[in-house]
Chains A and B, each alone.
Chain A
Amino acid sequence: MTAVTERARSSLGAELASPLAAFVVVMVVFGIAAPNFLSRATFGSVAFQLPELGLLTLAMLLPILTGGLNLAITFTANIAGLTLAWVLQSQGGVDAGIGAFVLGSVLAIAVGALSGLIMGLVIAYTKAHPILVSLSMMIFLRGLGEFLTRGGDVSGFPGFLAPIGYGSIFGIPVPLLIFIACVLIWHVLLTRMKLGFSTYMIGSNIEATRYSGINTRKVQVLVYTLSGAMCAVAGIIMLARFNSVRVGHGESYLLITVLACFLGGVNPFGGFGRVIPVFVALVVLQLLSSGLNLMGSNQHLATAVWGILMITVMILRWVAERLKFLNANKG
């Protein structure tokens, strides 16, 4: 039994403590303040809203672990969504078949991966700062997207797409299933695979990693490529949920993804952080906004509360560190 808990501890890590604590606090506070909070409806709304932010956060996570950043995530998702939209439209719009959807999704993921690949190559070979590279990519994709759509919506998709945005399998929303699958893929990638191992090492010290015989350029290129591909998955889900694509959709999520990583215990300078705590952090953020919504406040207030939560967490972490330090000194 202890072996099992020990194993769980070592695979989940101490990073889980603060998001779990926040989770408990949010559940208790809203459970008392809003009697209808602990209901199926709340969890339904969380389950449907979580995946968009969640998938984009996964896309942000890998670059952050290498000590970088991908500021182009939301526009990569938009461009990937547009790719799928155009394929569907060219195949008859509302009358497009499953084949068109599959082809469109594959192309969308390819386009997302391509955006990441280009960023990865530039970052790995020119050693330019990821913030600047991804900012440039973001501006490029935004301008390109707005030019191609003339700033409007692209809509008119076949009816079978609706279940991807709104359907459920065995009571679990489809977008949530897709998100959980992606969480698990990322978890295995980071804990059990060479690429994940190298991602952490690069985040702590890229030169020492290169001296140890790791192809650091390849790792950087792959990390940004995977990040771009994950954006595309988010873009496809967003298309199904909004039943339209518009360049700028989800733009406000960009910085929230960085904060969600940080709330999940990811080191903002790279090298440390795990997927599961980030997942719990995302659930907390979503519960918070659903709970406030339920109590009648509007979405903008929820965003403000997110900010307060982050600052509180930083202060609490500092306090916890101090306590640890003082305890160590007593002994």
Chain B
Amino acid sequence: MADQEPDGSASRPLLSLRNVNMTFGGVKALKNVSFEVLPGEVHCLAGENGSGKSTLIKVITGVYKPEAGAKIDYDGQSHAHMSPVTAQAGGIQVIWQDLALFPEMTVAENIAFQTVTGRWPRLVNHAEMWRVATNALQRLGVTLDVDLALHNFPIAQRQIVAIARALVGEAKLVFMDEPTASLTQSETDYLLDIVRNLSASGVAVVFVSHRLAEVLEISSRVTVLRDGALVGVYPTKGLTQSRITELMTGKTFDYSVLHRDLSTSSVMLEVKGLSRPGEFEDVSLTVRRGETLGITGLLGAGRTELALTLFGMRKPRSGAVVLDGKPVRFGSNREAIAAGVAYLSEDRLSLGLIQPQAIADNMVIASLDKILSGGFFSSDRKRSLVSGWIRDLGIKIGKQEDAVSTLSGGNQQRVAIAKWLATEPKLLILDGPTVGVDVGARAGIFDIVSKLADTGLAIILISDEVPEVYFNADRVLHMAQGRIVGEYVPGATSLQAIEGAVYA
């Protein structure tokens, strides 16, 4: 194949970077970073958000020009910096998380659209397109109907299409940015097989993922970045998940299950046979005061739909909800909030917070009556309430008037929690509270959750990451296809057993 090294030496690096520095607006995004990829290797690039992974990829693909002094060797040639043209011509491809595909076009068009216009008059050669696409898929050992529109395929197959498109450009080095973020376990296994095939055929793959289990399974070496600097390069053999987390965050975490005695605590929420056909069926559960109930399951299991129904934004077809001893039937989320239900959305960017607006305004939006006096806002009352929440939750901000979008994911999530605590809830539903929050900042969020539970708040914690509910909830419910299919007590059941059931 075209990817063989001319001199046959596999041990000489395909890509080698030295002394890479990048500064954005006075902030050092990369500090003296070096990075190396061997031909045909599966290499993992690990680091928290903002550690410099994306910046590094953009330096390698020529989007950014590093500061003077950098040395980039790729495929036997030295460069002071790459350009998008040299990167592309040299066979460097990136598959970004959003895939950048065209859902309405066919698989063949998606794979081969860049390569199949001829000379003048530049008409599309469909036969050639079909041949190129079929070849690329064959190379991955996959058969797909290339004449079908892409939207007919599940996300895992679209991922394959994106990889196939990268191969059409005679790839030697493929970067994959969080390729498994939206895949189920079996789809992930399938993708990992594809990556192995790719590597066996001589293409080097750099894998960027925060799912550490996969990192350990697929890669041969791991490069860890923290705050724009290189922590080190490690052979995967001998690494564990907790060791990688320590390297990424520079902190050690203590994982232990909760042991809270809730036997004397009264029931805050009781749900009996709640159904919304097509979303969830016959869901029954209870949450006590001071208890954190974990709900896990794959995307699409009906978790968010259940939460939105408890929050009054959807109406159940049948079943009953009893909150604090009173049967409730909410006509809107306003009624739910007034009754003491709060819902932290999993989609912080577009539903959870109003990103362009001020931190202070986002904190008071759900409890405006508290800052009214005689029908008018009291700016002093608002300022002191907001300052109180910022202090209590340890939120790091510049000014209260700054836009929420200027904050890090972890601090944004604290603002969202403050917004709901300001409503003085009895039941707090946290839907994916760590989505887009760095590993290091997650612990801080769960500290807050644990303290809230200790004040007697009933909490429902929804997450598709089983360890998250395992270590932070008193009980764990497993939801699949709209039904509750299992209930576990962390400690009594092992994490692996629950993971096995959920990801099966």
- A interface residues with partner B (beta carbon < 8 Å): 10, 188, 191-194, 197, 200-201, 204-205, 207-215, 271-272, 328-331
Known: A197-B361, A212-B365, A331-B26. 11 other contacts (CB 8 A): A205-B355, A207-B351, A208-B352, A209-B365, A211-B352, A213-B334, A213-B365, A214-B365, A328-B25, A330-B26, A331-B25
Answer yes or no: B353 CB below 8 A from chain A CBs: yes
- Whether B357 pairs with A204 at a CB distance below 8 angstroms is yes
Binding-face segment, B93-101, B156-164, B372-380, B455-463: B372-380
Answer yes or no: B256 CB below 8 A from chain A CBs: no
- Whether A201 pairs with B26 at a CB distance below 8 angstroms is no
- Whether B350 pairs with A194 at a CB distance below 8 angstroms is no
Q: Given A208-B350, A211-B351, A211-B352: A193 and B361 within 8 A (CB)? A: no
Q: Pick the most buried of A204, A213, A328: most chain B CB atoms within 10 A of its CB.
A: A213
**Cα of A301 to Cα of B401 in the assembled complex, Å:** 42
Which B residues are in CB contact (< 8 Å) with A213? 333-334, 337, 365-366, 423
- Whether A205 pairs with B337 at a CB distance below 8 angstroms is no
Shortest 7 CB-CB distances between A and B: which pairs?
Answer: A192-B376, A213-B337, A212-B365, A205-B354, A212-B366, A208-B354, A204-B356
**Cα of A194 to Cα of B350 in the assembled complex, Å:** 22
Which A residues are in CB contact (< 8 Å) with B423? 213
Which A residues are in CB contact (< 8 Å) with B350? 205, 207-208
13 A-B residue pairings within 8 Å (CB atoms) = A10-B401, A193-B376, A200-B357, A201-B361, A204-B356, A205-B355, A209-B354, A211-B313, A211-B345, A212-B419, A213-B423, A272-B356, A329-B25
Which A residues are in CB contact (< 8 Å) with B485? none
Answer yes or no: B280 CB below 8 A from chain A CBs: no
Which B residues are in CB contact (< 8 Å) with A211? 313, 333, 343, 345, 351-352
Interface string of B324-345 (1 = CB under 8 A from A): 0000000011100100000101
Which A residues are in CB contact (< 8 Å) with B368? 194, 197
Q: Pick the most buried of B337, B361, B365, B419: most chain A CB atoms within 10 A of its CB.
A: B365
- Whether B351 pairs with A208 at a CB distance below 8 angstroms is yes
Which A residues are in CB contact (< 8 Å) with B345? 211
Residue in chain A with minimal CB distance to B358: A200
Residue in chain B with minimal CB distance to A214: B365
CB distance from A3 to the nearest CB of B (A): 13
**Cα of A19 to Cα of B94 in the assembled complex, Å:** 47
CB distance from B429 to the nearest CB of A (A): 12
CB distance from A323 to the nearest CB of B (A): 14
**Cα of A258 to Cα of B338 in the assembled complex, Å:** 39
- B interface residues with partner A (beta carbon < 8 Å): 25-26, 313, 332-334, 337, 343, 345, 350-357, 361, 365-366, 368, 372, 375-377, 401, 419, 423
Residue in chain B with minimal CB distance to A326: B25
- Whether B26 pairs with A193 at a CB distance below 8 angstroms is no
**Cα of A326 to Cα of B295 in the assembled complex, Å:** 48
Residue in chain A with minimal CB distance to B372: A194
**Cα of A200 to Cα of B356 in the assembled complex, Å:** 11
**Cα of A204 to Cα of B362 in the assembled complex, Å:** 12
CB distance from A184 to the nearest CB of B (A): 13
Which A residues are in CB contact (< 8 Å) with B372? 194
**Cα of A211 to Cα of B304 in the assembled complex, Å:** 13
Q: Given A213-B334, A271-B357: A201 and B351 within 8 A (CB)? A: no
- Whether B26 pairs with A328 at a CB distance below 8 angstroms is yes
**Cα of A200 to Cα of B366 in the assembled complex, Å:** 14
CB distance from B399 to the nearest CB of A (A): 10
- Whether B377 pairs with A204 at a CB distance below 8 angstroms is no
Q: Pick the most buried of B313, B368, B401, B423: most chain A CB atoms within 10 A of its CB.
A: B368
Residue in chain B with minimal CB distance to A202: B354
Which A residues are in CB contact (< 8 Å) with B361? 197, 200-201
Residue in chain A with minimal CB distance to B423: A213
Residue in chain B with minimal CB distance to A331: B26
**Cα of A205 to Cα of B366 in the assembled complex, Å:** 14
CB distance from A210 to the nearest CB of B (A): 8
Residue in chain A with minimal CB distance to B368: A194
**Cα of A330 to Cα of B27 in the assembled complex, Å:** 11
Which B residues are in CB contact (< 8 Å) with A208? 350-354
Q: Pick the most buried of A188, A204, A205: most chain B CB atoms within 10 A of its CB.
A: A205
Q: Pick the most buried of A188, A193, A328, A331: most chain B CB atoms within 10 A of its CB.
A: A193
Which B residues are in CB contact (< 8 Å) with A204? 354-357
- Whether A271 pairs with B375 at a CB distance below 8 angstroms is no
Which A residues are in CB contact (< 8 Å) with B356? 204-205, 271-272
CB distance from B245 to the nearest CB of A (A): 31
Residue in chain B with minimal CB distance to A197: B368
**Cα of A201 to Cα of B356 in the assembled complex, Å:** 9
**Cα of A28 to Cα of B220 in the assembled complex, Å:** 72
Which B residues are in CB contact (< 8 Å) with A272? 356
CB distance from A191 to the nearest CB of B (A): 8
CB distance from A209 to the nearest CB of B (A): 6
CB distance from B332 to the nearest CB of A (A): 8
CB distance from B167 to the nearest CB of A (A): 39
Which B residues are in CB contact (< 8 Å) with A331? 25-26
**Cα of A208 to Cα of B348 in the assembled complex, Å:** 9
Which B residues are in CB contact (< 8 Å) with A329? 25-26
Which A residues are in CB contact (< 8 Å) with B26? 328-331
- Whether A192 pairs with B352 at a CB distance below 8 angstroms is no
Which B residues are in CB contact (< 8 Å) with A330? 26
Q: Pick the most buried of B350, B352, B356: most chain A CB atoms within 10 A of its CB.
A: B356
- Whether A193 pairs with B377 at a CB distance below 8 angstroms is yes
CB distance from B44 to the nearest CB of A (A): 33
Q: Given A208-B350, A214-B365: A192 and B357 within 8 A (CB)? A: no
CB distance from B321 to the nearest CB of A (A): 18
CB distance from A305 to the nearest CB of B (A): 33
**Cα of A211 to Cα of B350 in the assembled complex, Å:** 10
**Cα of A211 to Cα of B345 in the assembled complex, Å:** 8
**Cα of A207 to Cα of B361 in the assembled complex, Å:** 16
**Cα of A188 to Cα of B375 in the assembled complex, Å:** 11
**Cα of A328 to Cα of B26 in the assembled complex, Å:** 8
Q: Pick the most buried of A197, A200, A212: most chain B CB atoms within 10 A of its CB.
A: A212
Which B residues are in CB contact (< 8 Å) with A194? 368, 372, 377
- Whether B375 pairs with A193 at a CB distance below 8 angstroms is yes
- Whether B365 pairs with A201 at a CB distance below 8 angstroms is yes
**Cα of A328 to Cα of B352 in the assembled complex, Å:** 30
CB distance from B312 to the nearest CB of A (A): 9
Which B residues are in CB contact (< 8 Å) with A207? 350-351
Which B residues are in CB contact (< 8 Å) with A212? 354, 365-366, 419
**Cα of A212 to Cα of B333 in the assembled complex, Å:** 8
Residue in chain A with minimal CB distance to B337: A213
CB distance from A226 to the nearest CB of B (A): 16
Residue in chain A with minimal CB distance to B353: A208
Residue in chain B with minimal CB distance to A269: B356
Out of A192, A201, A215, name the residue touching B377 (CB < 8 Å).
A192
Which A residues are in CB contact (< 8 Å) with B351? 207-208, 211
CB distance from B309 to the nearest CB of A (A): 14
Which A residues are in CB contact (< 8 Å) with B355? 204-205
